Amino acid sequence: MKFGLNFFPSFRLSDLSTADYFAQCLRLAERADQLGFNSVKTVEHYFFEYGGHSPSPIVLLSAVAARTRRIRPITGAVIPAFNHPIKLAAELAVLDNLSGGRLDAGFGRAFIPKEFEAFGIPMDESRARFEEGLDIVTRLWTEERVSYRGKFHSFDDVRLLPRPVQKPHPPIWIAAVASMESFVWAGRHGYHVMIVPYAGDMRKVRDMVSAYREAWREAGHPPGREQIQTSLHCYLAETSREAIERVRPRVERYIEVFSEAVSSWATHQSGQYAGYGKMVDGIAKTTVESMLNGHQALIGTPDDVAEQLRYHVDLFGEIEPSMQINFGGMSDEEALRTLELFASQVKPRFVR
């Protein structure tokens, strides 16, 4: 079983500076590399304290790649709707070269109305732009010269440089949250999935994961080669009580900035994002206790966290937990303690 870190900025500048946050991420990435973690992931978001300090995951992950030897940088995720696919393919290829062929390329559709509004992109074009953009990127990576006529992009006789190190291309991951269509589409195309269990009812997420695996098999992809990465908040301490009380203000900050970012769903609707308005209502009511009761986080002692993680493995099958350990303005001391405790007392129970 593999494990990763997920750097998802969710702090205010009154908590710490952006420069300090990036420095913290790099220190944690270096230590995670030494401790045998598999991946480091970060996000593409804009404008809000929920993710907005990371508008370019490729830049931060390039710094991670320069400071590590084995850990795999993963874009979690870049947004084709907000980036020209030729530029996206080229920049991801640069990262694959800088890292010596360690890149995992994750793509997503985005879901915050303000981001679409600012980029002048209708939300109802989200899926079509995502699929077209990903198609262009993979063709540029695998074909010597590409001409393309699409709904949003057209070009003739383009040869991408640099070429990716990994052949035929870096592993591709799809961010899938609440849409059954996204899970089935990813499985059918042979892509791995990055999921966010705490964004919905765990039983519904389980059903979507099952549909993903079924679509993978029915499309004829090699059985058992599909991969599922789960994003989970993680906080460890010596006692359960200490963990819950110390993580509480961090969770509250995370929920606060998350709620602000998605508040515009109250006045937006899109057929491509069915149920998102209801999901937003649930986010605002989230507490440490509700996360624990819903099996939506890893919080407690090493024994607690091992038991919580076992629940996820039993529910979803083989997964790679991608853990947020420095969310909500977390201090270096707290984040590093979680990393060290997890590596020494939880990880060995699951690594074969």
- How many contiguous H segments (helices) and E segments (strands) does the chain have? 12, 11
Tens of pLDDT, residue by residue over 116-135, are 999 999 999 999 999 999 99
**pLDDT tier, 198 (very low <50, low <70, confident <90, very high otherwise):** confident
For residue 123, the model assigns a pLDDT of: 93
pLDDT, position 318: 93
Average pLDDT over residues 212-228: 95
Distance of CA 38 to the CA centre of its chain: 14
Tell me which residue of 334, 275, 335, 327 sits closest to 50, measured CA to CA: 327
**pLDDT tier at 179, thresholds 50, 70, 90:** confident
Give residue 292's pLDDT: 93
Distance of alpha carbon 326 from alpha carbon 24, whole angstroms: 8
Closest CA to 49 of 342, 204, 254: 254
Strands 320-324 and 172-176: unpaired
pLDDT of res. 306: 98
Which CATH number is 235's domain given? Answer: 3.20.20.30
Q: What pLDDT, on a 0 to 100 scale, did the predictor assign at position 174?
A: 97
pLDDT 10s digits, 34-61 = 999 999 999 999 999 999 999 999 999 9
pLDDT higher than threshold 90 for residue 201 = no
Of the pLDDT bands very low, low, confident and very high (cuts 50, 70, 90), residue 275 is low
How far is Cα 91 from Cα 247, in angstroms, rounded to an integer? 36
Res 263: pLDDT: 86
Phi and psi torsions of 273, nearest 5°: -130, 50
Q: What does DSSP say about strands 146-149 and 154-158: parallel, antiparallel, or unpaired?
A: antiparallel
Nearest to 264 by CA among 13, 108, 79, 50: 50
- Give dist(CA 189, CA 154) in Å, integer: 23
**What would the pLDDT profile of 292-324 be if each residue is shown by its tens digit?**
998 999 999 999 999 999 999 999 999 999 999
Find the domain containing 79 and state its range: 4-349
Q: What is the pLDDT of residues 152-162, one digit of tens each?
A: 999 999 999 99
- What is the model's pLDDT at position 227? 96
| Cβ–Cβ under 8 Å, residues 187 and 197 | no
Higher-confidence position of 250 and 264: 250
Position 266 confidence tier, pLDDT thresholds 50, 70, 90: confident
| Structural domain count, the chain | 1
pLDDT reading at 352 higher than 80:
no
CA dist list (Å): 310 to 30, 315, 318, 321, 337:
27, 8, 10, 11, 21
Looking at the DSSP bridge assignments, the partners of residue 195 are: 176, 230
Residues 6+ apart with CB under 8 A from 84: 153
Backbone φ and ψ for 24, nearest 5 degrees, come out as -60, -45
- Give the model confidence (pLDDT) of 54-112 as tens digits: 999 999 999 999 999 999 999 999 999 999 999 999 999 999 999 999 999 999 999 89
Residue 8 has pLDDT above 70, yes or no: yes
- In this predicted structure, what is the pLDDT of residue 268? 72
